């Protein structure tokens, strides 16, 4: 056998959300934090039109898309790089900055792709304990940073917990880290945040030089998870590094066109955001009334903990699957007593709550809910 690079065999591959439920032709898919309202009809129509031009390579610079993103988020387009989903950009960032002598630091329970990408570069992984309520802890992050630390990865809000660092805490983190440490703020869920004390990190990005990258994606509020489009916003020196490493034709023509049309369909994305915020509150309250403990979320999902423990969470997941409802177990994050549920329409949320009520009632009746 040819040996892979250092660290590769220590990696656990990314665990994607389930997409199929046995016996259900069209399951309710609430396992991958996709948009509740799906793709904008205008974006669908625009993408269908591109099919005739696929004999040509896509624009390698994503010029029109970066222009549209710049207009939407008040960024200079030359400080934006687009990629095939933010996942690809996370890999490119880690490959650009991390080697076997470097450390990658993330909060406990952070979205796992950052760690996977860092380990694939041979970097060592440093994890800062979360607070007991799962919130990210700036003091712990600063205390865990070592002489090796080169990149800090901060998903804000975090997936799968839904917690966020408020702006003052984010600034305190940046100020407490050495200037030669790159802070990567993954703001995949930025549009769903309702906390007024939140800022995605854009204001921390310098023009010429800097040490902050902010990531965004079209997979969540823009309803284009299948098209694979993400972007990063950073200073020109970082952009020039990333542009050397990224694939030349990273974003295909259909995806570029779909993303531009999705940005233009402001009514659709606004409806998505409003729906998710409302249903997030509704689902959180309904789950609490069922006796589950819900981590307050600012994303398009909630993390529900079963006080009865890990076995109950596993049984609930199996029960939901038999009902054609797919949610996300998070054992791989060290949270075996919890399930992560993506926010959908009100009818979908009612289906989840009814099924869970039925499960909990039956389980209490037969006394077969066990502690892990």
Ligand X SMILES: Cc1ncc(COP(=O)(O)O)c(C=O)c1O
Tell me if 87 contacts ligand X by CB under 6 A: yes
Site for ligand X (CB under 6 A): which residue of 39, 40, 79, 86?
86
Question: Which single residue brings its beta carbon nearest to ligand X?
Answer: 85
CA nearest 26: which of 351, 363, 354? Answer: 351
Sequence-distant (≥ 6) Cβ neighbours of residue 301 within 8 angstroms: 30, 33, 159, 160, 162, 328, 340, 341, 342, 343
Compare residues 125 and 311 and give the one whose CB is closer to ligand X.
125
Site for ligand X (CB under 6 A): which residue of 124, 149, 217, 256?
217
Buried b (16+ CB within 10 A) or exposed e, 154-171: bbbbbbbbbbbbebebbb
| DSSP for residue 157 | S
Q: Restricting to residues 231-290, name those near ligand X by CB under 6 A.
A: none
Question: Could you tell me the two tokens for 366?
Answer: 């037969």
Tell me if 230 contacts ligand X by CB under 6 A: yes
Tell me if 58 contacts ligand X by CB under 6 A: no
Q: Restricting to residues 151-170, name those near ligand X by CB under 6 A.
A: 155, 159
Compare residues 150 and 190 and give the one whose CB is closer to ligand X.
190
CA nearest 130: which of 96, 106, 159? Answer: 106
Long-range contacts of 351-358 (CB under 8 A, 24+ apart): 351/28, 351/323, 351/325, 352/28, 352/30, 352/283, 352/320, 352/325, 352/327, 353/283, 353/286, 353/287, 353/290, 355/319, 355/320, 355/323, 355/325, 356/287, 356/290, 356/292, 356/316, 356/320, 357/290, 358/319
Question: With CB under 6 A as the contact rule, which of the stretches 68-76, 81-89, 266-274, 311-319 interacts with ligand X?
Answer: 81-89
Q: How far is the CB of 210 from ligand X (least distance, A)?
A: 21
Binding string, residues 6-45; x marks residues near ligand X by CB under 6 A: ---------------------------x------------
Instruction: Please give the Cα distance from 362 to 12 (Å, whole number).
Output: 35
Q: How far is the CB of 175 from ligand X (least distance, A)?
A: 23
Site for ligand X (CB under 6 A): which residue of 58, 85, 107, 162?
85
Question: With CB under 6 A as the contact rule, which of the stretches 84-92, 203-211, 240-248, 263-271 interacts with ligand X?
Answer: 84-92
Site for ligand X (CB under 6 A): which residue of 97, 104, 111, 359?
111
Q: How far is the CB of 299 from ligand X (least distance, A)?
A: 8
Q: How far is the CB of 187 from ligand X (least distance, A)?
A: 8
3-state secondary structure at position 24: strand
Compare residues 185 and 205 and give the one whose CB is closer to ligand X.
185
User: What residue ranges bind ligand X (CB under 6 A)?
Assistant: 33, 85-87, 111, 155, 159, 186, 188, 217, 219, 225, 230
């Amino acid at each position: 056998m040819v040996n892979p690079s250092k660290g590769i065999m220590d990696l656990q591959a990314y665990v994607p959300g389930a997409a199929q439920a046995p016996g259900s032709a069209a399951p309710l898919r609430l396992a991958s934090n996709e948009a509740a309202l799906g793709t904008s009809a205008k974006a669908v129509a625009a993408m269908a039109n591109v099919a005739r031009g696929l004999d040509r390579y896509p624009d390698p610079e994503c010029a029109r898309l970066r222009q549209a993103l710049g207009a939407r988020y008040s960024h200079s387009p030359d400080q934006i790089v687009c990629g095939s989903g933010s996942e690809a950009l996370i890999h490119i960032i880690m490959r650009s900055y991390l080697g076997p002598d470097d450390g990658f630091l993330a909060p406990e329970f952070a979205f796992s792709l950052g760690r996977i990408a860092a380990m694939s570069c041979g970097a060592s992984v440093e994890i800062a304990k979360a607070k007991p309520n799962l919130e990210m802890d700036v003091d712990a992050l600063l205390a865990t940073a070592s002489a090796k630390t080169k990149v800090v990865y901060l998903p804000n809000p975090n997936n799968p917990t839904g917690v966020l660092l408020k702006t003052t805490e984010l600034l305190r983190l940046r100020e407490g880290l050495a200037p030669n440490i790159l802070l990567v703020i993954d703001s995949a869920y930025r549009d769903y945040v309702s906390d007024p004390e939140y800022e995605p990190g854009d204001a921390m990005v310098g023009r010429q030089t800097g040490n902050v990258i902010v990531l965004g994606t079209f997979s969540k509020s823009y309803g284009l998870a299948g098209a694979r489009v993400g972007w990063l916003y950073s200073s020109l020196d970082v952009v020039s590094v990333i542009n050397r490493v990224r694939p030349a034709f990273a974003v295909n023509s259909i995806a570029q066109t779909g993303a531009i049309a999705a940005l233009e369909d402001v009514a659709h994305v606004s409806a998505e955001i409003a729906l998710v915020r409302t249903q997030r509150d509704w689902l959180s309250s309904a789950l609490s009334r069922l006796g589950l403990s819900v981590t307050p979320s600012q994303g398009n999902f909630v993390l529900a903990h079963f006080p009865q423990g890990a076995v109950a969470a596993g049984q609930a997941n199996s029960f939901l699957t038999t009902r054609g409802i797919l949610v996300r177990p998070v054992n791989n994050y060290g949270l075996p007593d919890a399930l992560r549920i993506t926010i959908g329409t009100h009818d979908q949320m009612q289906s989840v709550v009814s099924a869970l009520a039925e499960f909990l009632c039956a389980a209490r009746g037969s006394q077969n809910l066990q502690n892990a």
